[in-house]
């Protein structure tokens, strides 16, 4: 068991801390936000993540998971300190590293023994060496400090699962002893471990996210082309995904990617490239395609109706993906703004993310607590996030409650056979529209 301190109790820091406690380490999570720490100390998680609350409660009860806003208390007995603070995007697309360097200063001022500093935050190439310089500049004693880059590859909505069932753990270090220590700490996860240089570990994180983002934008471009030539993107994606060299993951056409990682990291990698005089044209296109794709449903609705003025649109799903309340870079933000520009009214529903959505969506958006209430009031239904509840109910409720049911599906949730069971006009991404074919009797059993 190691004494581990985690600086930052955001998404990455909290999940990392809880899961390290679960495999037997003594973990202290530090955050300067005292209100957040008060909630965490009471066992209340500030984020929605399946399975996290239960693990947090059990490890607090066992006495190996602690929360504090006292920097000195958190760091003075640590053998290993993880930096897991935010690196928000600046206006020019580069990463804001001020929180990272503040954490480095705090480490230098407060450690009382030799320490390995592990960077979990996603940082540009070369940042780990700067962290090392800052820590050493603020040291209050003659202590050894080694730096390790240990990027996270957690998917929001399945982060706890990924911690125990991931593809690999990357450990980037110049010190073999530091790399061995972090390998020992992570050994109980039972995942493949890849040891690299610090610079390679930094690049692996950005390259992985950029590649996955590229797959998404690629399939969305193929979807746009499929609409024009009469192909079905669901069949096309299935066909190319069978190729082991390509794989089926991240080939779901839709309304683009969002969240805290892909948008920020792709733009940051473009800025990193510019700093070394490299024009990363491919990634610039990926970003451009994704920005355009977010409002594809609005474009389709405008083509279908001619004008959206006065139309009441039900937005089903607001978070950037299911099983999270994260609204960062969510497609619902771009969609709602564009709909309001077109003169539409918006009735919005999400099973988890409504409170966070109220903070970022335009004030004109109306929110309801039940999916039925959104659809009953709507002239048009948009599926924006493929929550299980939404997929299970949208077709049926549209048939029951709408005078002229029309559904725009931004996530291609249904097969043609499922759609044809209901009297719904259906327009999706990369597929031919389906007109009403079934009778209301198909939905009568709801």
pLDDT digits (tens, 9 = 90+) for 245-263: 999 999 999 999 999 889 9
Predicted pLDDT of residue 93: 85
Cβ-in-10-Å burial (0-12, 13-18, 19+) of 332 comes to buried
CATH architecture of 294-443: 3-Layer(aba) Sandwich (3.40)
Q: What is the pLDDT of residues 166-186, one digit of tens each?
A: 999 999 999 999 999 999 999
Sole residue written with tokens 């929360």 = 67
CB neighbour list of residue 347: distance below 8 Å, 6 or more residues apart: 312, 313, 314, 315, 366, 367, 368, 373, 374, 377, 378
CB neighbour list of residue 7: distance below 8 Å, 6 or more residues apart: 13, 30, 31, 74, 81, 82, 83, 84, 85, 103, 106, 107
pLDDT at position 358 over 70: yes
Alpha-carbon gap, residue 30 to 73, rounded angstroms: 9
| pLDDT bucket at 89, cuts 50 / 70 / 90 | confident
Alpha-carbon gap, residue 61 to 321, rounded angstroms: 32
pLDDT at position 52 over 70: yes
Q: Which residues are 95's β-sheet partners?
A: 89
| Helices first, then strands: H and E counts in the chain | 18, 14
Sheet holding 80-83, edge to edge: 65-68, 26-30, 3-7, 80-83, 115-119, 145-149, 169-173, 193-196
Alpha-carbon gap, residue 320 to 332, rounded angstroms: 8
Please report which residue ranges of 33-94 form alpha helices under DSSP H.
34-41, 52-62, 71-75
Predicted pLDDT of residue 405: 96
What pTM value is reported for the model?
0.91
Residues annotated within a binding site for substrate: 153-156, 205, 250-254, 258, 321
- Tokens representing 248 are 């089926």
Pinpoint the residues of the chain covered by CATH 1.10.1040.10: 205-292
CATH of 205-292, one of 1.10.10.10, 2.60.40.420, 3.40.50.10540, 1.10.1040.10: 1.10.1040.10
Pinpoint the residues of the chain covered by CATH 3.40.50.720: 3-196, 294-443
| pLDDT bucket at 118, cuts 50 / 70 / 90 | very high
Q: What are phi and psi of 164, to 5 degrees?
A: -105, -10
In this structure, the strands spanning 145-149 and 169-173 are antiparallel
Sole residue written with tokens 């700490």 = 185
Predicted pLDDT of residue 438: 61
Alpha-carbon gap, residue 209 to 262, rounded angstroms: 6
Predicted pLDDT of residue 439: 59
Alpha-carbon gap, residue 272 to 97, rounded angstroms: 13
Sole residue written with tokens 């659809």 = 375
Encode 79-113: b = buried (16+ Cβ within 10 Å), e = exposed: bbbbbbbbbebeeebbbebebbbebbebbbebbee
> What is the overall mean pLDDT for the chain?
95
Q: What is the pLDDT of residues 126-156, one digit of tens each?
A: 999 999 999 999 999 999 999 999 999 999 8
Q: What are phi and psi of 203, to 5 degrees?
A: -70, -35
Q: 207, 410 in Cβ contact below 8 A?
A: no
Helix (H) / strand (E) containing 83: strand 80-83
- What percent of the chain clears pLDDT 70, i.e. is strictly above it? 98
Alpha-carbon gap, residue 361 to 364, rounded angstroms: 8
Q: What is the pLDDT of residues 204-230, one digit of tens each?
A: 999 999 999 999 999 999 999 999 999
- From the list 44, 105, 47, 101, the residue with the least C-alpha distance to 260 is 47
In this structure, the strands spanning 26-30 and 3-7 are parallel
CB atoms < 10 A from the CB of 78, how many?
Answer: 26
Residues annotated within a binding site: 31, 36, 87, 122, 153-156, 205, 250-254, 258, 264, 321, 328
Q: What is the pLDDT of residues 342-354, one digit of tens each?
A: 999 999 999 999 9
- What percent of the chain clears pLDDT 90, i.e. is strictly above it? 93
Residues annotated within a binding site for NAD(+): 31, 36, 87, 122, 156, 264, 328
Predicted pLDDT of residue 260: 85
Alpha-carbon gap, residue 322 to 404, rounded angstroms: 28
- DSSP, res 90: P
- From the list 62, 52, 54, 51, the residue with the least C-alpha distance to 27 is 62
Q: What are phi and psi of 373, to 5 degrees?
A: -65, -30
Q: Which residues are 314's β-sheet partners?
A: 347, 381
pLDDT at position 442 over 60: no
If you compute the radius of gyration of the chain from its CA atoms, what whole number of angstroms results?
A: 24
| pLDDT bucket at 28, cuts 50 / 70 / 90 | very high
Q: From the centroid of its chain, how far is CA 131?
A: 26
Predicted pLDDT of residue 133: 98
- From the list 436, 443, 445, the residue with the least C-alpha distance to 399 is 443
pLDDT at position 441 over 60: no
Residues with a catalytic annotation lie at: 261
| pLDDT bucket at 91, cuts 50 / 70 / 90 | confident
| pLDDT bucket at 437, cuts 50 / 70 / 90 | low
Q: 145, 131 in Cβ contact below 8 A?
A: no
CB atoms < 10 A from the CB of 418, how many?
Answer: 12
Please name the fold of domain 3-196.
Rossmann fold (3.40.50)
Alpha-carbon gap, residue 338 to 273, rounded angstroms: 32
- From the list 411, 410, 339, 330, the residue with the least C-alpha distance to 378 is 339
């Amino acid at each position: 068991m190691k004494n581990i301190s985690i600086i930052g109790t955001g998404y990455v820091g909290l999940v990392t801390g809880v899961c390290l406690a679960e495999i037997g380490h003594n973990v202290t999570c530090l955050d300067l936000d005292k209100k957040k720490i008060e909630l965490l100390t009471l066992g209340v998680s500030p984020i929605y993540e399946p399975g996290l609350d239960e693990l947090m409660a059990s490890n607090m009860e066992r006495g190996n998971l602690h929360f504090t806003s006292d920097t000195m208390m958190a760091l003075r007995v640590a053998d290993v300190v993880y930096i897991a603070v935010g690196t928000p995007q600046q206006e020019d697309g580069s990463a804001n590293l001020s929180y990272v360097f503040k954490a480095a200063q705090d480490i230098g001022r407060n450690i009382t023994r030799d320490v390995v500093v592990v960077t979990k935050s996603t940082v540009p190439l070369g940042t780990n060496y700067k962290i090392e310089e800052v820590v050493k500049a603020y040291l209050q004693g003659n202590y050894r400090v080694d730096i390790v880059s240990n990027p996270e590859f957690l998917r929001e909505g399945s982060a706890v699962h990924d911690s125990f069932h991931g593809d690999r753990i990357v450990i980037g270090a110049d010190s073999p002893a530091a790399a061995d220590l972090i390998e020992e700490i992570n050994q109980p996860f039972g995942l493949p471990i890849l040891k690299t240089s610090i610079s390679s570990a930094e690049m692996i994180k950005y390259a992985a996210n950029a590649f996955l983002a590229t797959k998404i934008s690629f399939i969305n471009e193929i979807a746009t082309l499929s609409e024009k030539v009469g192909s079905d993107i669901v069949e096309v994606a299935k066909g190319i995904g069978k190729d082991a060299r390509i794989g089926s993951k991240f080939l779901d056409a839709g309304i683009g990617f969002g969240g805290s990682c892909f948008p920020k990291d792709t733009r940051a990698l473009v800025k990193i490239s510019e700093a070394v005089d490299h024009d990363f044209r491919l990634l610039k296109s990926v970003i451009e395609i994704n920005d355009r794709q977010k409002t594809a449903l609005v474009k389709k609705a405008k083509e279908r109706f001619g004008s959206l003025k006065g139309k009441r649109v039900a937005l089903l799903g607001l978070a950037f993906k299911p099983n999270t309340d994260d609204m960062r870079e969510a497609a619902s933000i771009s969609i709602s703004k564009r709909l309001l520009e077109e003169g539409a009214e918006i009735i919005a529903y999400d099973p988890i993310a409504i409170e966070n959505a109220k903070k970022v969506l335009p004030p004109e958006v109306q929110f309801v607590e039940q999916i039925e209430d959104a659809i009953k009031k709507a002239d048009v239904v948009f599926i924006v996030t493929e929550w299980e509840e939404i997929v299970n109910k949208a077709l049926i409720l549209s048939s029951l409650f709408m005078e002229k049911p029309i559904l725009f599906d931004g996530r291609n949730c249904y097969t043609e056979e499922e759609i044809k069971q209901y009297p719904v006009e259906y327009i999706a991404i990369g597929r031919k529209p389906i007109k009403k074919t079934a009778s209301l009797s198909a939905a009568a059993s709801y």
